[in-house]
Amino acid sequence: MAGLLFACNNNQDDPQPEPGKKNMTILSYLVANNNLNNALLVNIGAMYDGLAGMDEPATLMVYWDGKTKVGANNADHLILKYETDGKGNINGRPALDETTVMEDVLDEAIIVKEYASQLSTDKEVMKTVLKDMMANADSEKFGLIVGSHASSWLSSIFTSRAFGQDGSSTDNTMLIPDMAEALKSVGQKFEFILFDACFMGTTEVAYTFRDVANYQISSVMEVPAYGFPYDLLMQDLYEGTASSYQQVCQYYMEYYKFLYDCNDTAWGTIALIDSKEMGNLTDMIKQEIVAHKELLAEYDTGHLQEYGKSSGPYIAVDLGHFVKDMNGGSMPAAFSSQLAKTVLYKECMEKTYPYNYAVDADNYSGLGIYIPVAARPKWNTYFKTLDWYTAAGWNEVSFSWNF
């Protein structure tokens, strides 16, 4: 297991508080039927560790679709439940100590529901699973962690996977608008959505999920397979404030900076997005794009900070760098002010490995943006179908290469 396991010595005569309706329940939707199976299992262990160290009652619900089979029935599509009393007990028993193995953590789960084999990247499946998790949690508020492969707003074109890869085919993915629709169907806004998945820190994704969650935590670059250090940050996720979510982001960066210092093999960007400001930011992006539509008709993106160089060229360039470039190197004050209201926290590692490029902190705004390029005609065709395409003003640009 990756995280720290906490031993406990509770007085069993003490009254044990029950998680109540005002506590937030965190839902974790993990699509691990791919080469992330083992890494996402470790994430469950780290979440368990984080619960064990909490000082307040809390509930975690995990949907697991992976290669590893769980429980007495050897299920690979099921909901796991972990409930801490805030005194070191999980599911009514003292939390496991540092000698445990991953199988023990899985055996400690309450099996809420098992499913027949299903495609977890199907929006109807996601709707059903989320509603099942929420129906079995005595809470008024919910946060959401989603973990799998991802590639921002892209579909399965060019071996990309928008969110999730269920099995060996990259066609078994979930389009971002479908995912947002599934999340909206649960009937209430999430307190947060944490994207433990690559390339989700883009304007296209943040705009699509603006009505889904109050806050979004995401990276514009690839997220390493280790994911988030959940053993450190569960308490902050449950606290549910902008400042606690900022702390989550800080833990993420501290973790990867530590790994880089240990073996020079780490990278990372992170940002906290205030969803309610995404509409205002989008309006300002549209103003910039429309005001510079002649420039953009034959625009070369090669000099901008890019975030998909190694595994997905052209996926995203930096939003702030793009806006500064259109304005002679200086960001307009009004745009800068709105960007600060939207991106509440951002941090990057300037040194990266194994990538062959570094992130320039001066040109890191926390969000990436796709600029249509002639080299990606299939991407551009799909890009036109997004609500973002019109909302951001791209429909008003007449590209010289007949977009």
Tell whether 80 and 222 lie within a shared domain: yes
pLDDT, residue 109, reads 96
**Residue 403 resides in a domain:** no
Nearest CA to 208 among 252, 271, 273, 157?
273
Residue 240 has pLDDT above 60, yes or no: yes
Tell whether 35 and 162 lie within a shared domain: yes
pLDDT one-digit tens code per residue, 61-85? 999 999 999 988 999 999 999 999 9
**Residue 43 resides in a domain:** yes
**Residue 2 resides in a domain:** no
Tell whether 270 and 193 lie within a shared domain: yes
Label each residue of the chain as H, E or C. CCCCCCCCCCCCCCCCCCCCCCCEEEEEEEEECCCCHHHHHHHHHHHHHHHHCCCCCEEEEEEEEEEEEECCCCEEEEEEEEEECCCCEECCEECCCCCCCHHHHHHCCEEEEECCCCCCCCHHHHHHHHHHHHHCCCCCEEEEEEECCEECECCCHHHCCCECCCCCCCCCCECHHHHHHHHHCCCCCEEEEEEECCCCCEHHHHHHCCCCEEEEEECCCCCCCCCCCHHHHHHHHHHCCHHHHHHHHHHHHHHHHHHHHHHCCECCEEEEEEHHHHHHHHHHHHHHHHHCHHHHCCCCCCCCCECCCCCCCCCCEEHHHHHHHHCCCCCCHHHHHHHHHHEEEEEECCCCECCCCCCCHHHCCCCEECCCCCCCHHHHHHHCCCHHHHHCCHHHCCCCCCC
Average pLDDT, the chain: 90
Where is the domain boundary, 232, 250, 275? Answer: 275
pLDDT, residue 169, reads 73
**Residue 91 resides in a domain:** yes
What predicted TM-score, i.e. pTM, was given to this entire model? 0.92
Tell whether 126 and 265 lie within a shared domain: yes
**Residue 401 resides in a domain:** no
pLDDT, residue 357, reads 64
Higher per-residue confidence, 319 vs 23: 319
Where is the domain boundary, 275, 294, 322? Answer: 275
Tell whether 134 and 177 lie within a shared domain: yes
Q: What's the domain range around 164?
A: 24-275
pLDDT, residue 353, reads 64
**Residue 96 resides in a domain:** yes
Where is the domain boundary, 231, 256, 275? Answer: 275
Tell whether 334 and 250 lie within a shared domain: no
Tell whether 302 and 265 lie within a shared domain: no
Residue 13 has pLDDT above 60, yes or no: no
pLDDT one-digit tens code per residue, 312-365? 788 999 999 999 999 999 999 999 999 999 999 999 998 766 665 679 999 999
Tell whether 181 and 33 lie within a shared domain: yes
**Residue 10 resides in a domain:** no
**pLDDT (average), residues 97-107:** 84
- Beta strands 24-32 and 58-70 are parallel
pLDDT, residue 191, reads 98
Report the number of distinct structural domains present in the chain: 2
**Residue 7 resides in a domain:** no
Tell whether 190 and 284 lie within a shared domain: no
124: domain CATH number is: 3.40.50
Tell whether 152 and 184 lie within a shared domain: yes
pLDDT one-digit tens code per residue, 143-170? 999 999 999 999 866 666 788 888 877 7
pLDDT one-digit tens code per residue, 178-235? 999 999 999 999 999 999 999 999 999 999 999 999 999 999 998 998 899 999 999 9
